[in-house]
Amino acid sequence: MFLCVAACFFVQAVHLEGQSRTGNKNLVDDAFSDMDKTFSSMDAEFTQEDAYYLGRAVAANILAAYKPYTQNPALTQYLNRICQTLVINASQAVSFNGYHVIILDSPEYNAFATPGGHIFITKKLVEAATSEDMLAAIIAHELAHILLKHGIAIINDMKLTDDMTAAANRAANLAGNNAAAQRLMLFRDSVTKTMDTMLKNGYSQSQEFEADREAVTLLQKSGYDPMALQDMLKILQQVQKSQKGGFNTTHPSPVDRIANVEKLRYQTQDTRKYRVPRFKNK
């Protein structure tokens, strides 16, 4: 239901945008000025609620491109319980409306997360995991992107790219000093930019490496095997040649990612055997 509402919210946003165009060229300078102020203060103004609504719109768009896997609701619940275990043990993991894991019915090996707390994992990637700890590693990596605000960083970077020029040109057509309309336009551009990053371009290599390191920390704090991320990456390395699109497009190579995290060492008690029955019954 929350995803349907998200789609409605986005349609309403586009409709309102059309209503807000007045062609008042005398106030173009004011439009540019106000938009620049909005971007320059984005770090302070972009609230958890903003991130949630942005993420909800992105989630609606993702589900327009991928079908959700609904044949095994218990599996989805299982992944969400793993996610909550990680969230409880994370620092500053507060979200406007919590965190939600959704399985996508796709033959790709891939996963991504929205700034609003929605974590998407393809069915193929879930099937590739051979332990609960590996599933936790997948979720921890995506959760790390949210906690590290990588999605918000993409939006902030818009003011430093050509996308900013395009946004400015559209803002010039808005109604003078209409801050609400400008924010609406910024919202739409943010959704588009976030979608392009998640499905086409991927995060930067440094952001992916940072998310992997944070994921290892989350695994250790939650009682999972920190080496599970490496184990998962080794599986991805094995299927890399047969994989078209998916993680090959949106993530650095598994070899580079393994090299990034293999130097990390954590002392943790091995409790994997207690999770084996739960994983087999998922």
Closest C-alpha among 181, 159, 142 to residue 21: 181
Helix (H, G, I), strand (E, B) or coil at 118: strand
- Largest interatomic CA distance in the chain: 70
Q: Is the Cα dihedral 190, 58, 101, 208 positive or negative?
A: negative
- How far apart (Å, rounded) are the C-alpha atoms in residues 30 and 194? 27
pTM of the model: 0.73
CB atoms within 10 A of CB 157: 14
Decide which of 32 and 165 is more confident: 165
- How far apart (Å, rounded) are the C-alpha atoms in residues 114 and 62? 10
The pLDDT assigned to 8 comes to 41
Q: Is the pLDDT of residue 115 over 90?
A: no
The pLDDT assigned to 53 comes to 82
- How far apart (Å, rounded) are the C-alpha atoms in residues 229 and 219? 9
Q: In what order do the strands lie in the sheet with 118-122?
A: 100-104, 118-122, 111-113
Write out the two tokens for 174: 């808005």
Q: Domain-by-domain residue ranges, the chain?
A: 2-280
DSSP code of residue 94: -
Write out the two tokens for 247: 């993680």
pLDDT (tens digit, 9 = 90+) per residue, 201-220?
778 889 999 999 999 999 99
Q: Is the pLDDT of residue 132 over 80?
A: yes
The set of residues, in sequence order, having a beta carbon less than 8 Å from that of 253 and lying 6+ positions away, is: 237, 240
Question: Is residue 173 very low, low, confident or very high in pLDDT (cuts 50, 70, 90)?
Answer: low
Write out the two tokens for 121: 């994992």
Cα 205-209-213 angle, rounded to 5 deg: 170
Decide which of 251 and 131 is more confident: 131
pLDDT (tens digit, 9 = 90+) per residue, 223-235?
999 999 999 999 9
Pairing of strands 111-113, 100-104: unpaired
| DSSP result, 198-218 | IIII---HHHHHHHHHHHHHH
DSSP code of residue 131: S
